[in-house]
């Protein structure tokens, strides 16, 4: 089996302690410095990652606020444009109604003028026809101005068509 030689064990321990002492003097401080540097690097990386996460969250919040603000502004503009369009539509309708009413009033006045003109012309023709008929019936020419005055008086006493 395994035989342990005490001399060999002592030399192994002495070699181990000498190696440990040499490593402590030569390599221990650089190893610790390297470990500390690595620890600092890792800590700096964690700090930077934490700061980057906080910045990202801040930017996200700002972005969401800007989006909300832009959406509110867009809704406000849409509402204003709708109101403006409705107002413009109402003004256009009112103008069209006004123009239509003016045209209707003008047409009524024109019709009334034409009617009065036709009545005056008709009265003149009736007076001439009555004078001509009276000449034929009587067979002689009477004073035309007298007859016209009589006929005009008779026509004026007649009920007017507009009174119906």
Write down the pLDDT at residue 140: 54
Q: Label residue 139 by pLDDT band (50, 70, 90).
A: low
Q: Taking the domains of the chain in order of start, what are their residue ranges?
A: 49-163
DSSP assignments along the chain, one per residue: -----HHHHHHHHHHHHHHHHHHIIIIIHHHHHHHHHHHHHHHHHHHHHHHHHHHHHHHHHHHHHHHHHHHHHHHHHHHHHHHHHHHHHHHHHHHHHHHHHHHHHHHHHHHHHHHHHHHHHHHHHHHHHHHHHHHHHH-S---HHHHHHHHHHHHHHSPPGGG-
Q: Is residue 104's pLDDT more than 90?
A: yes
Higher pLDDT pick, 14 / 141: 14
Write down the pLDDT at residue 128: 76
Q: Label residue 164 by pLDDT band (50, 70, 90).
A: very low
Q: Is residue 137's pLDDT more than 80?
A: no
Residue 153: name the closest of 127, 125, 133, 118 by CA. Answer: 127
Residues ≥6 apart with Cβ < 8 Å to 147:
127, 130, 131, 134
Higher pLDDT pick, 154 / 142: 154
> How many percent of the chain have pLDDT more than 90?
55
What is the pLDDT averaged over residues 21-38?
Answer: 88
Q: Is residue 142's pLDDT more than 70?
A: no
What is the pLDDT averaged over residues 26-51?
Answer: 92
Q: Label residue 130 by pLDDT band (50, 70, 90).
A: confident
The pTM for the full model equals: 0.42
Write down the pLDDT at residue 161: 53
Write down the pLDDT at residue 159: 65
């Amino acid at each position: 089996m395994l035989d342990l030689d005490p001399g060999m064990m002592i030399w192994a321990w002495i070699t181990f302690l000498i190696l440990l002492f040499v490593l402590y003097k030569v390599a221990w401080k650089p190893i610790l410095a390297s470990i500390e540097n690595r620890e600092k690097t890792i800590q700096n990386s964690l700090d930077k990652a934490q700061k980057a996460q906080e910045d990202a969250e801040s930017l996200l919040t700002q972005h969401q606020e800007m989006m909300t603000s832009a959406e509110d502004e867009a809704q406000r503009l849409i509402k204003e444009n709708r109101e403006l369009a409705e107002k413009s539509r109402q003004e256009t309708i009112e103008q069209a109604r006004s123009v239509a009413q003016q045209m209707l009033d003008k047409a009524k006045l024109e019709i009334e003028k034409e009617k009065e003109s036709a009545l005056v012309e008709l009265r003149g023709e009736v007076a001439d026809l009555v004078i001509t008929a009276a000449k034929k019936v009587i067979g002689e020419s009477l004073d035309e101005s007298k007859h016209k005055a009589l006929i005009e008086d008779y026509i004026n006493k007649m009920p007017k068509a507009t009174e119906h």
